Amino acid sequence: MATVVSHHLISSIASPHSPSNSKASLFPKEPFNLPIKFRQNRFKIEATTASQTPVLDPLLSPSKTTPHKKKSNEASLILIRHGESLWNEKNLFTGCVDVPLTEKGVAEAIQAGKRISTIPVDLIFTSSLIRAQMTAMLAMTQHRCKKVPIILHDENEKAQTWSHVFSEETRKQSIPVVAAWQLNERMYGELQGLNKEETAERYGTQQVHEWRRSYHIPPPKGESLEMCAERAVAYFEDNIQPELALGNNVLIAAHGNSLRSIIMYLDKLTSQEVTSLELSTGLPLLYIFKDRKFMRRGSPVGPTEAGVYAYTKRLAQYRQKLDESLN
C-alpha cells in the first residue's frame, strides 16, 4: 500500500471491519437534550417524508430504549480537517491550545461545505476545540438541506435543561453536534506555542521531525501519534461506527492527527504508512460504510465524477429528492 495518500485522486478502497456491537439508538421523551455522558449513548433518527432528512430526538434514560430499524444498508462518512487556524498561519505548534480560524480558514470551511452540500448529514461530531467546531458550523451553512447544526451540552443538568428545544418542528430542522475531547489534536506538550522553525534550530531538524512524524515518539510532556490514535479510534468505534451501522450519515470535523488516526483504522494502514499521510486543511474526504466495510471514495470535487466523487445510487437519489424539495 502506498505510504502517501492523496486527497485529489483517490480510488475506492474497501477495508473490512467488524463494527462494534450494533446497538439500537435510544429515544427521549423528557425535556433534556441528552442524559449526562451522552457521548457514550446513541441517537435515534426518525424517518420523515422523502423531501426531508432524518430527525434527532434526545434520550429519556439509558435504561429505556426503543429498537430502531436500520434505514439503509449504507451510510456516508465525511472527514474534514479544520481550516487554517491563527497559529497555523503563524507557524506555531498548536496541539490542544484552543485558537480560532483565520479568514483563509473560514473560506476553506465554507468551500468544504459547498463540496459536501448534497451529501446527507444526520449527525456531526467535532473535537472540543473551536477551530474544528467553526469548520463544521461554517460548512453546514452551505448544505442544501438548510438544517441548523446545534451543539449538544452535558456540562451539568442545567446546561441540558436550558438548551432543550421544545418545538418538534424546529427539531426536525436541526442536526445534532457532539463535541468530544477524544477527537482533539495531539497534545504537543512543551512544544505548544513554539515557532516550528525556531524549534528545529534549537533541537535539530531530525529531532523535531521525529516528534512530529514518528508514530511512537512523543514530544516532551506531550502525546505521540500512537497515544492520540488510542483515544480517537476508541471513540470512533464506541460512538461513531455504531451510528453508521444504523444507516446514519456522519460528518466529523477534527484535526490532522486525530483524523490520521481514524483513517489508519479505516484503511488498515501500518504505523509506518500513517506517518506519511498528509491531510489538507478544509478538504473533505468521503467514505461509504456498507456491508460492514469502509469504502473510500475520495474528495468530493465534482457532482458527477464517479472516479473521484462518491456518486452512488443512494446519493444520487438523495440529491434528486433534495432538488425536488427545494423547487
Catalytic residue among 68, 74, 82, 108, which?
82
Tell me how many helices (H) and strands (E) the chain has.
Answer: 12, 10
- The per-residue pLDDT for 155 is 86
Binding residues for substrate: 81-88, 94-95, 131, 185-188, 196, 212-213, 256-257
Does pLDDT of 4 surpass 90? Answer: no
CA gap 2, 72 in Å, rounded: 32
**DSSP tag of 77:** E
Domain boundaries, the chain: 71-326
Instruction: Identify the pLDDT of residue 314.
Output: 53
Q: What is d(CA 142, CA 274) in angstroms, rounded to the nearest whole number? A: 31
All residues at 6 or more sequence positions from 216 whose CB lies less than 8 Å from its CB, including other chains: 224, 225, 226, 271
The answer for residues whose C-beta is within 8 angstroms of residue 30's C-beta and 6 or more apart is 60
Q: Smallest Cα–Cα separation from 185: which of 222, 221, 153?
A: 222
Q: Give the Cα separation of 129 and 171 in Å (integer).
A: 25
pLDDT score of 56 more than 70 = no
Give catalytic status of residue 82 as yes or no. yes
Classified by CATH at the fold level, domain 71-326 comes out as Rossmann fold (3.40.50)
3-state secondary structure 289-306: EECCEEEEEECCCCCCCC
Catalytic residue, candidates 185, 223, 243, 255: 185
Convert the pLDDT of each residue in 266-297 to its tens digit. 999 999 999 888 888 888 999 999 999 999 88
Binding-site residues sit at 81-88, 94-95, 131, 185-188, 196, 212-213, 256-257
Rg (alpha carbons) of the chain, rounded to whole number: 20
What is the residue-averaged pLDDT of the chain? 78
Per the document, the length of the chain is 327
pLDDT at 124 over 70: yes
Query: Stretch 243-254: mean pLDDT, rounded?
Result: 96
Residues of the chain with pLDDT > 90, as a percent, come to: 62
